[in-house]
Amino acid sequence: MNKNVSFFNFSIRRILSDHLSILDNARLRLLYYGLALSFCTLFVLVADILYQQHPILSYTTGALFVTSAILFKFLTYQPRWTLISHLILIVATLVNIVDIYIAIQDVDVVTIEIIIMILLFSFYMLGQKAGLIYSLINIVPVVLMLILKYNNDYLIGIKPERVDDTTKIISTFACFILIAFIHSHFYNAFIKTIKELKETSDKQSGITAEFEEAMEKAQKSSEAKSEFLSTMSHEIRTPLNAVIGMSNLLITGNPRPDQRENLEVLKFSAGNLLSIVNDVLDFNKIESGKLVFENTKFNIVELMQNICGGQMMTAQAKGVLFKLDVDSSLSRKVLFGDPTRMTQIIFNLVSNALKFTAQGSISVKATCIEDRHNRVTVNFSVKDTGIGIEQNRLDIIFEPFIQESTSTTRQYGGTGLGLAIVKRLLELQGLKIKVNSTPGVGSEFWFNMEFPVSTEVYEPTNIQSQTITENSESLSAIRMLIAEDNPVNVMLMKKLLSKWNIVPSIAENGERAVELVQYGNFDIILMDLQMPVMNGFDAAIEIRKMPNPQKSGIPIIALTASALFDIRERVLESGMNDYVSKPFKPNELFEKIQNLVSKTSTTKFNFSENPVVPQ
């Protein structure tokens, strides 16, 4: 509808609107042309009835004539078709009842035609509910009059008025015209509506197909991203494994002080690079929705000490005071949770504090704020005296790849993923990280986490963990097979294992590894996963199929630089016992080798003989 319609408007174009539906515009046209036709017809009927001197019919017909004129003008100024339709039906119903019971005191053909027209008009214009109401209001009086006339019970003191055939012909003709107009008009509107719905349906189908195609492309893009990250992880971790491994080996070889300093810088830089790669991979895993939280037993005091142990030395080297305070009430409790993700959260917060604190102190606290025997709620807090954060930047620091400012990135480095990972890991558990910071004073990050409590009591061990060199004799007799295609990694493994007095056999691919196991005797296998000819998964499956139980039951540790989300499941499904990610920590590899070999009965091994290797 045009909002600038004036009172003197008589054009239908000004009251139609593209914003209305086809049916609503059809209703406006029906009212416009229907009222115009009714006005002309009623004008003729009023003149004819006045000429015949029928006062009651003259009043009722005149009322309809005046009503049609007023509503036509109202429609062209304020096209409120619902209100106008109700007014038309109310006036027509009253006039019809007056004519039946007072003017003509009978039900004739014209009366029936008017009722039919009212029925059609009410249903088409106002819908089913209004159509039923107006139909009953008009039909019931007619049926009642027919019953009264049949029993000759209707008598009033007013003489009925009789019109001539001319009036009946004009009325009948006008009724037929209006009925035909209503039908044809709405039939056309319905056809247009059906066509429009079909076009809309076709467009919707096209949009749906495009959406599905876009979703498929997005899925493929996501898979391609994951594959790319996995490949890049493997390609980056493989040389990093050699860099970090060689650095460790050289450091343990009693280098000169200047050489040790250079090696420490090399090791630190490689560690930073590995940390960046791990952050990107961890964030991608979280965003993919494929992260699953574990529910294992752990002691929070031991966990916090392990997390902060290395960080304390870093803080000491920077001249920063590092304080760790764990609630004593938690020292004997065994909790259920995901210690790996807890380590990731606390480690990122502490690393963040260390990065931005040049002097002063860092305080890490774990405080029990609620103890219900079977569940405890712990408040974790990391507070520093670092550079602080502006208040208007507190929200964006948790967004991925964003730091407090560009100058911060240039000065302190980093990917800007640490806090984003912390936030996502907590949100996945229904928790929220909170921060309070003042520029130049420092920052404090804290969150609350609830843990189920085990009935067990934690007993700390006083036996210090032995170093690799102290335990080297326990592995000296192990017959080991290494399946690895990268010559640098092979050289690194040989140098590392030589410190444990192990001389391994080497297979350059999975097929060769299966062949060596078939003809030789080994106590454990270190299996790289990505190799030519046959990969590590298929090689492990073939080994597990061997009929000799001593060969098919050989412990297998997967060595992988891959970052695939389901790598652990794939390793276990292929029959391997465990896996170590490259770059691996020598202590971690040593411990896993020792644990797996110790589970196998030592009586079946002949430690004095060497493995038989086919030439």
pLDDT in tens, 46-77: 888 888 888 888 888 888 889 888 988 888 88
Of the given ranges (257-271, 312-326, 354-368, 424-438), which has the lowest mean pLDDT?
257-271
Element (H, E) at 42: helix 22-51
Angle at CA of residue 341, ends 387 and 496, nearest 5°? 95
Say whether pLDDT at 511 is over 90: yes
- Listed ranges 106-110, 292-296, 400-404, 419-423; the one with the highest mean pLDDT: 419-423
* Long-range contact set of residues 126-131: C-beta below 8 Å, sequence gap at least 24: 126/82, 126/85, 126/86, 126/89, 130/86
pLDDT digits (tens, 9 = 90+) for 312-337: 888 888 889 999 999 989 988 899 99
How much is the pLDDT for 468?
A: 41
Omega before residue 532 within 30° of 0, cis: no
Residue 232 in tokens:
């890049």
Tokens 């019109």, located at residue: 163
Look at residues 89, 90, 112 and name the one whose alpha carbon lies nearest to residue 100.
112
Pairing relation of β-strands 333-337 and 578-581?
Answer: unpaired
What domains can be seen in the chain, in order of their start residue? 22-205 (no CATH), 290-457 (3.30.565.10), 472-604 (3.40.50.2300)
The 3-state DSSP class for residue 295 equals coil
pLDDT digits (tens, 9 = 90+) for 516-549: 999 989 999 999 988 889 999 999 999 999 999 8
Task: For residues 504 and 479, give the distance between their C-alpha atoms in angstroms, rounded to a whole number.
Answer: 7
How much is the pLDDT for 336?
A: 93
Which amino acid is it at 58? Answer: S
Q: C-alpha distances in angstroms, 344 versus 292, 304, 381?
A: 14, 11, 14
The 3-state DSSP class for residue 493 equals helix
Helix/strand/coil (H, E, C) string of 321-387?
A: EEEEEECHHHCCEEEEECHHHHHHHHHHHHHHHHHCCCCCEEEEEEEEEEECCCEEEEEEEEEECCC
Bridge partners of 581, per DSSP, are 560
How much is the pLDDT for 504?
A: 92
How much is the pLDDT for 156?
A: 82
Residue 176 CA to its chain's centroid (Å): 61
pLDDT averaged over every residue in the chain: 81
- Listed ranges 232-241, 335-344, 450-459, 506-515; the one with the highest mean pLDDT: 506-515
Say whether pLDDT at 451 is over 90: yes
Pairing relation of β-strands 505-507 and 578-581?
Answer: unpaired
pLDDT digits (tens, 9 = 90+) for 347-378: 889 988 988 898 899 999 999 999 887 899 99
Which amino acid is it at 171? Answer: S
Task: For residues 569 and 567, give the distance between their C-alpha atoms in angstroms, rounded to a whole number.
Answer: 6
Choice between 97 and 5, residue whose per-residue pLDDT is larger: 97
Task: For residues 569 and 562, give the distance between their C-alpha atoms in angstroms, rounded to a whole number.
Answer: 13
Residue 244 in tokens:
């970090």
Sign of the alpha-carbon dihedral angle for 367, 372, 375, 377 = negative
How much is the pLDDT for 268?
A: 67
Sign of the alpha-carbon dihedral angle for 605, 610, 612, 613 = positive
* Long-range contact set of residues 485-494: C-beta below 8 Å, sequence gap at least 24: 485/509, 485/528, 485/531, 485/532, 486/238, 486/528, 488/238, 488/239, 488/242, 489/238, 489/241, 489/242, 489/528, 489/582, 492/241, 492/242, 492/245, 492/246, 492/249, 493/526
Element (H, E) at 494: helix 487-498
Q: How far apart are the first and last CA of the chain?
A: 94
* Residue 41 and residue 24 in contact, taking contact as beta carbons nearer than 8 Å: no
